A and B are shown apart, each in its own frame.
Chain A
């Protein structure tokens, strides 16, 4: 099992450009999450999904969109990147809700917006 795989690992964007981050899991998990990690601010939840075809907003959803067309994939989109979106992005998945099963994280995507 690969677990949770994120692509790409690194990316540099110019302000206004768009991109999509891909998260794939092979553990048949129902729940998937996107977090961003910034120094001194911990892990902040952007969007999450409780099952195929569902999405919900987290703590900091503005400027991001997500889709969960297939159970194993969770895509995070930036339509018009801003320097404030420079961060490390982590995808995670869990079998059921985080209360019943631990989160499994990917290795992260380091995004720089200039």
Chain B
């Protein structure tokens, strides 16, 4: 089955700097890659996603890139703000695996003012 590895496990940046979180996946058939944000004590919520027919997607200060050949994808946050502090999860979905979503281990991002 699919396996998703996420790095780093913790990331600390200064307000205004950029943050990058990377994930690799094992199943070349995976074709959907969402990112979820979980604030302290709250539920995970979708912030951006990308499908395998697209190499990059942006939404204001966040962007996701996908390299299908290398089987990795990344989340980029620019001009970080304290409210970006949270745990971020990447995930992958394989169409022949019943539509289930497999998550990475999570990255705890801390943005220092």
Chain A positions near chain B (C-beta within 8 angstroms):
31, 33, 35, 40-45, 48, 50, 56, 58-59, 90, 96-100, 102-103, 105-108
Contacts and interface: CB of A to CB of B under 8 A. Distances in A.
A42 B106 contact: yes
Nearest to B52: A99
Contacts of B99: 31, 50, 96-100
B98 A50 contact: yes
22 contacts: A40-B105, A42-B103, A42-B104, A43-B44, A43-B91, A43-B103, A45-B102, A45-B103, A48-B98, A50-B99, A59-B102, A97-B98, A97-B99, A98-B91, A98-B99, A99-B95, A100-B99, A102-B46, A103-B36, A103-B101, A105-B43, A105-B44
Contacts of A48: 98, 100
Given A59-B1, A97-B98, A44 B43 contact: no
A43 B100 contact: no
A90 B51 CA distance: 25
Given A42-B104, A98-B99, A98-B101, A103 B46 contact: yes
Nearest to A4: B43
Contacts of B1: 59
Interface residues of B, number: 27
A32 to B, nearest CB: 11
Interface of B: 1, 6, 9, 31-32, 34, 36, 42-46, 49, 51, 89, 91, 93, 95, 98-106
B4 to A, nearest CB: 8
A50 B99 CA distance: 8
Contact of B34 (A50, A102, A106): A102
A44 B95 contact: no
Given A103-B34, A105-B45, 9 more contacts: A35-B103, A42-B106, A43-B91, A56-B100, A99-B31, A102-B46, A103-B36, A105-B43, A107-B42
